[in-house]
A and B are shown apart, each in its own frame.
Chain A
Amino acid sequence: MRALLLLALAAFLTYDWKESRLGGAKLRTKVVYALLLLIAGYHMLIVFGILSAASYYDLFLRIFGGIAERIISGLEPEGGD
């Protein structure tokens, strides 16, 4: 799995640099590209087991989880199934 992900990363970086002319792109494109790679790197560390931290979905679970649980428990029929 690690090899496949790193290969994919290397492949698209090479392609974007050569074919999509990333080197000549606008500054904001390069900044956002780097930011996206940073976020990807953070999740890669989680996926590889190097970092034990909250992921994208953990963030939204924290935001919506409580409300979702209350909605679902409110929509359960009385007495359960």
Chain B
Amino acid sequence: MRNKITPSQVAVMLFVYLTGSAIINIPAPLISVSDNEAWICLLAAAGIGLLLLVPLVSLARRFPDLDFIEYGAKLTTRPVAVAFGILLLLLQVHIVAGIVMDIAMFLKSSMMRDTSFAYFITLTMLAVALTARVGIGRFAGMFGLLMLSVMLFVLFNISLASAGFHPQYLLPVLDHGVKPIFHGIYFISGFPYGEMALFCMILPLVRTRAKDRTGSKMALAVALNAGSLLLVTLATVLTFGPISGERKYSMFEMARTVYVTEIFERLEALMGYSMIVASFMKATIALFSAHLTLNSLLKLPRDNRQLIFPLAFIVTLISISVGLRGEAYWDFMISGIHPLWVFTCGIVPLLVVYAASLVRKRVT
């Protein structure tokens, strides 16, 4: 299993991870909670994401070959680090299950209404598990190219749909006060920015040299992601106006509005591809991170692959079990519980360990 990547590759991974499913999924729910102030929420949450890079990168720099659990044990104690590791693993399992569930819901609601989502989930997780098994060193290179195709298709879609933009849809702003802004920030700080905490397990795999500027490259990835999400969110508002929040899978719906002289129509197929591929990549990174966490908790070698399949199988079944509860259950899970879950199990442990590193400067 090839498990070493370069600083540029980890920045690409971060961009893929942040943008992956968010570029299709974020606009509608964000607009539904924050109306025309969605762009303000995005900018604020991106700022939070950039701040989250500070503990991530500084801890990785101080302990270059150690993962979160290993340096957490040095800075606090082994039991505390294990507890944090278990919380992180619970979050990672949820993230993978959620992404795969999202792919299944998209396919079922948009294309194959009579097919059980369990088939989509099982087959997607099979692809995710097989890809995670080959190691990040291999799939990191592939993901850069795939993400490039996704971004090109999204930009192509927006450029063709721009003929139907209505600038007046950008107003009014702050119609319901500032609470929608805080609501939007609450939502988007959990998905996708808070999920960056997972990279505490991936950064030890970066092959560092002096003056690598890993932090700058990752900050650029966050900034590019914020720009991409801002672009798709504004495009959604400009296209659909007051009903933007109801048009789930915004880029897919926007592609349906494109009709240029019978040559450029039915572009939703490109958005369907983009959504599935981007979510697949994010799920692979999250599953890989989860397996690293499990190996670290058990003090197994990082390249041990024996636990990937059972972990993926559990995620498959957890994801299917969510589908049985219905869409309203899932909507509340994502919009209400997910940000809290990410904060409690991802961000807080990272910040506690970072605070310990500031206090215990002599530990190496």
Residues of chain A having any CB pair with chain B under 8 Å: 1, 4-5, 8-9, 12, 15-16, 20, 22, 25-26, 28-29, 32-33, 36-37, 39-40, 43-44, 46-47, 55-58, 60-61, 64-65, 67-69, 71-72, 75-78, 81
- A sample of 11 more A-B contacts (CB under 8 A), given A5-B316, A8-B126, A76-B183, is A20-B305, A39-B314, A40-B310, A43-B314, A46-B321, A56-B94, A56-B97, A56-B321, A68-B340, A71-B186, A81-B176
C-alpha gap A69/B340 in the complex (Å): 11
C-alpha gap A65/B335 in the complex (Å): 11
A33 touching B306 in the complex, CB below 8 Å, given contacts A68-B336, A72-B336, A77-B176:
yes
User: Chain A residues with Cβ under 8 A from B176's Cβ?
Assistant: 77, 81
B contact residues, range? 35 or more
Q: Is the CB of A43 within 8 A of B309?
A: no
User: Chain B residues with Cβ under 8 A from A37's Cβ?
Assistant: 310, 313
User: Chain B residues with Cβ under 8 A from A25's Cβ?
Assistant: 306
Q: Which of B64-72, B114-122, B212-220, B264-272 contacts A (4 or more CB under 8 A)?
A: B114-122
Q: Does B173 contact A (CB under 8 A)?
A: no
CB distance from A73 to the nearest CB of B (A): 10
User: Chain B residues with Cβ under 8 A from A76's Cβ?
Assistant: 179, 183
Q: Is the CB of B314 within 8 A of A36?
A: yes
User: Chain A residues with Cβ under 8 A from B111's Cβ?
Assistant: none
CB distance from B293 to the nearest CB of A (A): 12
A/B interface sample: 14 pairs, CB < 8 A = A1-B119, A20-B305, A29-B298, A37-B313, A39-B314, A55-B318, A55-B322, A56-B94, A57-B322, A60-B90, A65-B337, A67-B340, A75-B179, A76-B183
Which 7 residue pairs of A and B lie closest in terms of their CB atoms, listed nearest first?
A: A68-B336, A43-B317, A77-B176, A12-B309, A75-B183, A36-B310, A55-B321
User: Chain A residues with Cβ under 8 A from B97's Cβ?
Assistant: 56-57
CB distance from B93 to the nearest CB of A (A): 7
Q: Considering the complex, which residues of chain B in the window 230-257 have a beta carbon less than 8 Å from any beta carbon of chain A?
A: none
Q: Is the CB of A4 within 8 A of B337?
A: no
